[in-house]
């Protein structure tokens, strides 16, 4: 199984503050990952500080 995170930097917020927004995405994901079962096929969306969807994460089979 592998963990995959994809973040889109094309949004206005991500372009204005790329480092800060990526830090927000990673912190938020780290704080909420325990809410999901650790099994293949689980996935979720990630959001910037304006609550706009900027990507997704997933647990995938190898």
CA–CA distances in Å: residue 22 to residues 8, 37, 38, 46: 10, 24, 23, 10
pLDDT tens by residue, 2-38 = 999 999 999 999 999 999 999 999 999 999 999 999 9
List, in order, residues 6 or more apart from 15 with CB less than 8 Å away: 9
Residue ranges covered by each domain of the chain: 2-60
- Phi, psi for 14 (deg, rounded to 5): -65, -35
pLDDT tens by residue, 40-52 = 999 999 999 999 9
């Amino acid at each position: 199984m592998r963990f995959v995170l994809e973040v889109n930097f094309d949004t206005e917020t991500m372009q204005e503050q790329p480092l800060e927004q990526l830090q927000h995405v990673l912190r938020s994901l780290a704080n909420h990952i325990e809410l999901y079962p650790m099994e293949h096929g689980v996935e979720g969306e990630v959001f910037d500080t304006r609550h706009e969807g900027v990507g997704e994460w997933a647990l995938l089979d190898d």
